[in-house]
Amino acid sequence: MAFLENERGLKVRKKSDGIYCVEGDIIPMQFLESKMLDDNPFLRTLRSNLSAEDLEKTLQTYEKRKPLDNKSPFWDRVIKANQNAFREAMSMFSDGVREIFLQGAEEHGWFADRDEKLINEGLSQGLSQGLSQGLSQGLSQGLSQGLSEGMSQGLSKGRFQGANELLEMIKSGIDPDEAMRQIACVCGESQE
């Protein structure tokens, strides 16, 4: 204040504790001495070195006076200037204050983008996993069923072919026991 009055030739007038008006410059100014603002807890918080306890007390006092949605510009500035203290203060909030914040956040759509992103990620992940599992199970089941049916058809066809060959051998005059031995040899079985 001495600099403004002595060096700049401006008049500094005290409006109340911690609030001063500067007159005589191109633009009228007002400045706050935050440590002197004991009667006004809201103006006192407009600084960047608040503790978590200061924030919590101010929020509780402010909530008693006005609904949360009327405080946006005030809290926007306080929170931006004191982000670490605000995070700490949030962990100390009572259930009532925490509920107020959550209701306000829900009403104003603060979580909408996050919720939409999480839903889309969940859908994408579920679809991907579902397709992967479906393809894997379908492929496994298809291979198993294909092998089983192929083997069954192959055995049936082989038996049919073997029976035809046996009949042809018998028709050509080969002894039936000898024909059975020859077929067993071809199939890798010994017939004794």
For the residues of 58-99, what is the DSSP string, one character each?
Answer: HHHHHHHHS-GGGGHHHHHHHHHHTHHHHHHHHHH--HHHHH
Three-class secondary structure of residue 191 per DSSP: coil
Res 189: pLDDT: 58
Q: Are 55 and 86 in contact (CB under 8 A)?
A: yes
Phi then psi for residue 15, to 5 deg, are -85, -45
* Region for 18 from its dihedrals, namely left if φ exceeds 0, alpha if ψ lies in -120 to 50, beta otherwise: left
Kindly compute the dihedral angle of the four CA atoms of residues 4, 6, 9, 11, in this order, to the nearest 10 degrees: 60
- pLDDT in tens for each of the 192 residues of the chain? 788 888 888 899 988 888 888 998 888 888 888 777 766 666 777 777 777 777 777 777 766 765 555 556 666 777 777 788 877 877 777 787 778 777 877 887 777 777 788 888 888 888 888 788 877 887 788 778 877 787 777 777 777 777 777 777 778 887 877 777 777 776 665 555
Residue 164 CA to residue 160 CA, distance in Å, equals: 6
CA 99 vs CA 37, 63, 89, 113, 179: distances in Å: 29, 12, 14, 20, 92
One-letter identity of residue 177: D
103, containing H or E segment: helix 95-107
Going through the chain in order, the beta strands assigned E by DSSP cover 11-16, 19-23, 29-32
Residue 89 CA to residue 81 CA, distance in Å, equals: 14
Res 149: pLDDT: 81
Length of the chain: 192
